[in-house]
Structure 1
């Protein structure tokens, strides 16, 4: 078995390799809708949302766009970005690694759904400064994590898929340290395919 760090470093290559197959597997069913609606309810109309790990832009970015918002999507996979550009050419799609991202733009909403939890624990800690750098006052941040501190290895078409999580206490502290207040958090939400979701706002 490869060590955890090597598996973590391989995430980008896995999503490049399986981009189209994963997109087909993911499908269009929006099981995240209740969370996305809560996220959007905290935004002004016609906000600009940063979608980290945007994939093909379907179904999540598509839903945000349909509600009248603009999306700037970031993904490390050029195939994902190509699909997003094909799907929504009027939006902005950027191939980049979120860990080294500096877009020179601030956003009303930041979303890292099913992407942030592929980073190592140290990389996750460092992301809060990147969130803060791209945040307008009052920004709404939503991300998914694991339910507790640890690492886990999943599977994507036969390739080992790395995940990690900090503790709920540490996420709360990191959010507070960067000026965010937790609005809602549910661990392993049974109504959202078992996702652990954080919704926070910067006041």
Structure 2
């Protein structure tokens, strides 16, 4: 096992801190308006991809409880095992988001919150292009990205024994990548977190 591989660091990190990161019933306050806005724009029984779904709380569960057909993908086996228990009425794949594949036009929406920033930076633009193909025309993309450029690790993340890794450019670069993928950015805003934060993007497949 190559523990110097960033993807493996992220996998092992979330396996280790799954419960510290998100309890079975935790629902961070900032998610609620995002999910409300998303559901307002979805058709009844929409097909939604939660890319980097973690333990399925709150995104997959909220959408699945509302009658949508949700597929969750996550790198961490611990997270996926929890998700299958916590949201049995959704479909989950234990897979690397940069490698997973779906037929074109599969989803009405793709949600990718706090996940892109854990992927190798050279893989992110390609993934955004693939996400655009997975969406139906007019389909929605909701994502959090980095707001400022940074690549690095944090040892003993969240008070545990795991190391975590991140890599992301700034918000302007993400805006360019999203647009070049064939998605129209409809809105974006900064989401503060501690001394830094993330950028929240709403985009839609143009064609």
1:114/1:143 contact within 8 Å kept: yes
Contact conserved, 1:30 with 1:60, CA < 8 A, in 2? Answer: no
Deviation at 1:31, TM superposition (A): 2.4
Q: Which residue of 2 aligns with 1:96?
A: 95
Residues 1-203 of structure 1: matches in 2 within 5 Å?
Answer: 6-24=5-23, 27-104=26-103, 106-154=106-154, 155-156=157-158, 157-189=160-192, 194-203=197-206
Cα deviation digits, residues 72-125 of structure 1 (max 9, x gap): 001112221121111222221111100101133610010111111111211212
Point out where structure 2 has 5 or more consecutive residues left out of the alignment.
none
For normalisation by structure 2, the TM-score amounts to: 0.84
* Superposed CA RMSD: 2.3
Q: Which segments of 5 or more consecutive residues in structure 1 lack a partner in the other structure?
A: none
CA distance in 2, matches of 1:96, 1:47: 22
Spell out structure 1 runs of 4+ moving beyond 3 A: 5-9
Compute the displacement of 1:133 (Å).
2.9
CA contact (8 A) 1:153 1:160 kept: yes
Q: Secondary structure at the match of 1:140?
A: strand
Deviation, 1:164, is 1.9
| 198 and 152 in structure 1: CA distance in 2 versus 1, 3 angstrom threshold | farther
Closer, same or farther in 2 for the Cα pair 1:98/1:14, shift >3 Å? Answer: same
Q: Distance in 2 between matches of 1:26 and 1:169?
A: 34
What is the TM-score normalised by the length of structure 1? 0.86
